[in-house]
């Protein structure tokens, strides 16, 4: 199978999973994981920065 077709299959599977997840949890926003939809992205930024400074 061509890589393009494989990618298409993967994306369609992901789409199905996402649809199911949306049906299961209607009270959640559709993209809960994106920082833009989270209430306070600043908190995440500081946590990220702290993690970055400790790993260096």
Q: Which two tokens stand for residue 27?
A: 């009270």
pLDDT in tens, 7-52: 777 677 777 777 766 666 565 555 555 555 555 545 555 555 555 5
pLDDT value, residue 11: 77
pLDDT at 4 over 70: yes
pTM for this structure? 0.25
pLDDT value, residue 24: 60
Alpha-carbon torsion, ordered 16, 17, 23, 29, to 10 deg:
-110
């Amino acid at each position: 199978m061509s890589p393009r077709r494989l990618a298409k299959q993967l994306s369609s599977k992901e789409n199905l999973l996402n649809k199911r997840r949306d049906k299961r949890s209607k009270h959640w926003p559709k993209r809960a994981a994106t920082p833009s939809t989270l209430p306070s992205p600043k908190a995440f930024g500081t946590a990220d920065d702290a993690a970055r400074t400790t790993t260096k």
